[in-house]
Amino acid sequence: MKKIAVFASGNGSNFQAIHDAVESGKLRAEIKLLVCDKPGAFVIERARKAGVPVLEFSPKQYASKVEFETMLHEELQKNDVDYIVLAGYMRLIGSVLLKHYPERIINIHPSLLPAFPGVDAIGQAVATGVKVTGVTIHFVDEGMDTGPIIAQRAIDIQDGATKDEVAQKVHEIEHEFYPETLDKLFEGKR
């Protein structure tokens, strides 16, 4: 069974979906740690309620990304973490973690990459008027949403759909698709 650390920065709905899938047996993994770079984010409350250990930190307390990623790597080693699972972690992963976890850092992004990388992908899709968007799960590399794609799932955008309506559909897919894809990956079935 793979041991994972979930990295999140905000509300934590994908963290919750991953946790629920672990609890129900749909995702054969163990969440060893929630890592949050935004002290006070709601995901911390979700993790504590679920009994998942929390590492919250403020990057501003460190002189550099290398310094805080070195601290994170030490914590991940202490917890025997096999994979880092990004779930709304709004920070680029740097060289320290990439070196120690090659093809073992996974991200979910609310578009069909390579379309609409970066922040506000759903807003970009709606503003551009595309008819199809979706969800991409990919390995993390040094770029912004540029790593090798593991899986994608498309959804249609109805004419006149608002950003909030599209976001709701995307999140519904994410909450099922991410744990399902992680389980396949961890079991060697991707």
Query: Which residues are known catalytic residues?
Result: 109
Annotated binding residue 13: yes
Is 71 one of the annotated binding-site residues?
no
Verify cis geometry, omega within 30 degrees of 0, for the bond prior to 114.
Answer: yes
Does 1 appear as a known binding residue?
A: no
Phi and psi dihedrals of 189, rounded to 5?
-115, 15
Residue 93 assigned to a binding site = yes
Angle between helices 13-24 and 42-50 (to 10 degrees): 10
- Give me the sheet containing 2-8, strands edge to edge: 54-56, 29-36, 2-8, 83-86, 105-109, 132-139, 149-156
Q: Please indicate if the annotation marks 90 as binding a ligand.
A: yes
* 49 in a known ligand binding site: no
Task: Tell me: is residue 107 an annotated ligand-binding position.
Answer: yes
Residue 12 marked in a binding site: yes
> Which secondary structure element, helix H or strand E, spans residue 168, and what is its range?
helix 163-186
Question: Do 116 and 138 touch, CB atoms closer than 8 A?
Answer: no
Rounded CA-CA distance 128/31 in Å is 37
**First and final CA of the chain: distance in angstroms?**
16
Please indicate if the annotation marks 91 as binding a ligand: yes
Binding residues, by number, are 12-14, 65, 90-93, 107
Binding residues for (6R)-10-formyltetrahydrofolate, by number, are 65, 90-93, 107
